[in-house]
């Protein structure tokens, strides 16, 4: 039902096998409808933006594509050709928000520019012939706030397969340390402590990034600032807080047990293991349970190498603590820069400069180079 002032229009349709039947009422006059429809068609009335959004969501689009299709317009019960070209992928402003979106130039059924994001949302629509612009408005920080979902024991059971993938791979990566120190209770204690500090990001990193975005990123982007500069600060915040949080349990265990260097490095490894495992399970569990994430996919690949990096950085922090404050400060600073560089690569993915595969391989290369440097550093110190 559509209401225009004091006018009411109604449309009732029912699909019976390969036909549509029903009626249409306008100006108190009823018109019966019966139409064959053997083919599956999308519905798209003019100005029904959600219908157009659904149509685009089922198209596999990339820059340079020209797509032709057919839709049904329920209001007049007629079909119409749809033709559009994907002209660009760039940063788009809608209201007070910026997002990267495909620029879709529609030629039929009406000429318009539609800005469609990778997460399947129309954020802006322009019809120059009618001097019409439709903008989706939302809270600038809404996308940065993870939705809260109730978590039950049944959910945990359903997510066990992906949890086991991360746990088993983590055990493999740390097997040399497990074999040597499995009788040391402190490695199990710091593994748990490493996992327990990850939720502290919700009280530190995430609120700080949201505050910085609201105070500086959004106003700066509106003034024509560069996303590359603001993304670097956001990445730096993540690196700074995560390295500092991992340093806390490593420092506590080091001052409590006064371990020799090999054990100090091992404590760092297991702290990073706990931290990375909690992060990987937290990020992927719900998506895996919903059937939207395969085990062999780039997001899983990313989380596996994130676990490795947390282990590497933990080992380097353990080494730094054992060598003294000056060494620790240098190692801590370098790790923050490495973490910032890895996180910063996301801006190139978001801008379409890198695809998902290239982005993940580049980040993995950064982590592997860090692994080699830390290994050489620790090895030389032992000699």
pLDDT of residue 329: 94
pLDDT of residue 224: 73
Map residue 286 onto helix, strand or coil. Answer: helix
For 156-189, how does the pLDDT look when each residue is reduced to its tens digit (9 = 90+)?
A: 899 999 999 999 999 999 999 999 999 999 999 9
pLDDT of residue 368: 93
pLDDT of residue 172: 95
Residues 6+ apart with CB under 8 A from 150: none
Mean pLDDT by 10 residues, the chain (383 residues): 78 81 82 75 73 85 86 72 87 73 87 88 82 69 54 87 95 93 92 95 90 82 78 93 95 86 92 96 87 86 95 94 89 95 88 84 94 88 58
Indicate the burial class of 29 (C-beta count within 10 angstroms; 0-12, 13-18, 19 or more).
Answer: exposed
Identify the bridge partners of residue 68 per DSSP, sorted by sequence position. Answer: 83
Structure letter (DSSP) for residue 113 = E
Q: Long-range contacts for 292-298 (Cβ within 8 Å, ≥24 apart)? A: 293/162, 295/161, 295/162, 295/165, 298/356, 298/357, 298/359, 298/360
Q: Is the pTM of this model over 0.75?
A: no
The rounded distance, in Å, linking the Cα atoms of 286 and 293 is 9
Report how many helices (DSSP H) and strands (DSSP E) the chain contains, helices first.
12, 11
The rounded distance, in Å, linking the Cα atoms of 201 and 154 is 26
pLDDT of residue 76: 64
pLDDT of residue 69: 83
Tell me how crowded residue 243 is: count the other CB atoms within 10 A of its CB: 24
The rounded distance, in Å, linking the Cα atoms of 201 and 208 is 10
The rounded distance, in Å, linking the Cα atoms of 10 and 26 is 7
CA nearest to 302, candidates 278, 275, 288, 284: 284
């Amino acid at each position: 039902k559509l209401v225009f002032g004091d006018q009411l229009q109604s449309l009732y349709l029912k699909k019976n096998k390969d036909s549509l039947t029903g009626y249409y009422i306008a100006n108190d006059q009823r018109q019966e409808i019966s139409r064959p429809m053997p083919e599956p068609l999308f519905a798209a009335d003019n100005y029904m933006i959600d219908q157009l959004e659904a149509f685009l969501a089922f198209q596999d689009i990339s820059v340079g594509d020209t797509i032709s299709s057919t839709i049904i317009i329920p209001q007049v019960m007629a079909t119409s050709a749809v033709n559009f070209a994907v002209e660009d992928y760039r940063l788009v402003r809608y209201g007070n928000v910026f997002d990267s979106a495909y620029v879709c130039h529609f030629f039929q059924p009406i000429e318009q520019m539609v800005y469609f994001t990778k997460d399947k949302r129309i954020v802006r629509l322009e019809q120059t012939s009618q001097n019409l612009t439709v903008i989706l408005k939302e809270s600038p920080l809404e996308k940065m706030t993870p939705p809260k979902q109730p978590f039950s024991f049944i959910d945990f059971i359903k997510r066990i397969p992906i949890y086991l993938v991360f746990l088993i791979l983590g055990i493999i990566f740390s097997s040399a340390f497990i074999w040597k120190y499995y009788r040391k209770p402190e490695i199990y204690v710091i593994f748990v402590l490493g996992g327990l500090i990850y939720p502290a990001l919700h009280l530190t990193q995430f609120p700080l990034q949201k505050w910085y975005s609201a105070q500086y990123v959004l106003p700066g982007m509106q003034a024509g600032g560069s996303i590359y500069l603001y993304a670097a600060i956001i990445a730096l915040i993540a690196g700074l807080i995560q390295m500092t949080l991992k340093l806390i349990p490593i420092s506590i265990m080091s001052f409590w047990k006064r371990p020799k260097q090999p054990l100090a490095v091992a404590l760092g490894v297991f702290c990073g293991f706990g931290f990375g495992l909690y992060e990987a399970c937290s990020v992927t569990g719900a998506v895996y349970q919903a059937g939207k994430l395969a085990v062999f996919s780039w997001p899983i690949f990313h989380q596996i190498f994130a676990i490795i990096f947390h282990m590497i950085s933990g080992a380097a922090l353990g080494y730094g603590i054992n060598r003294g404050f000056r060494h620790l400060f240098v190692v801590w600073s370098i790790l923050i820069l490495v973490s910032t560089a890895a996180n910063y690569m996301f801006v190139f993915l978001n801008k379409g400069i890198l695809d998902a595969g290239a982005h993940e391989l580049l980040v993995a290369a950064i982590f592997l180079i860090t692994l080699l440097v830390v290994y050489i550093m620790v090895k030389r110190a032992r000699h």
